[in-house]
Amino acid sequence: MVILAAVAVGLFGVGRLVAVLRAPPRAVVGAEATHDGVNVRVTAASWTGMDHDMSGTAPGYTMPPAMMPGMPAAGEQRLAVTVTVVNTSDETRPVRPAREFTLRAATGEKGWEPHSHTFGELPRLAAHNALAGTLFFDLPPADLNGSPAWIEWNHEGVVSRLSVPFNGAVHSPHR
């Protein structure tokens, strides 16, 4: 009987250990996050003004997106999110802003990868250096309407949620 109890406790312990190892990393929510000496902060977010009105209520002829390479698809607008990355450590750290950030909103499970960015192809950041850049996301403005939004930062398997200083209201430059 004692042996059976010991085996049961052992199996339960191994089962809990496996569950902990399989669990996704815990998300940290806040205005900024730090992992392994790299600090990230979202400083601004706003809809960008485009030279051509892509809304369905545009006067005259609305040019199709295929005729305007790089423009958001019909029904979408471009959101600019400014991010500051600081290496506070004494060593060079890997940093890949274009691959580490995803825009998310409480309205659904969908996430948006950056359409483009101003970070360049920086694979690492030297000790005690900082950079600021802008991530651009194309999405329907209604997807953020009345919904909290955040940037999900996945750095070396650790996930942090950074609040976007944007009230979620539709602020289209064409209205």
**Tokens in use for 23?**
């669990």
**Tokens in use for 137?**
């996301």
Q: CB within 8 A of 31, min separation 6: which ones? A: 41, 42, 162, 163
pLDDT of the residue at 31: 81
Contact 100, 142 (CB under 8 A): no
Of the candidates 27, 29, 31, 28, the one whose C-alpha atom is nearest the C-alpha of residue 45 is 31
Residue 61 phi/psi, 5° resolution? -80, 125
Of the candidates 161, 164, 162, the one whose C-alpha atom is nearest the C-alpha of residue 25 is 161
What are the angstrom distances between the C-alpha of 83 and each of 78, 104, 109?
16, 15, 23
3-state DSSP call for residue 15?
A: helix
pLDDT of the residue at 36: 92
pLDDT of the residue at 74: 78
* Cα-to-chain-centroid distance, residue 147: 15
Of the candidates 173, 13, 154, 175, the one whose C-alpha atom is nearest the C-alpha of residue 78 is 173
pLDDT mean for each 10 residues of the chain (175 residues): 56 45 46 93 85 61 69 86 95 91 84 91 91 93 82 93 68 38
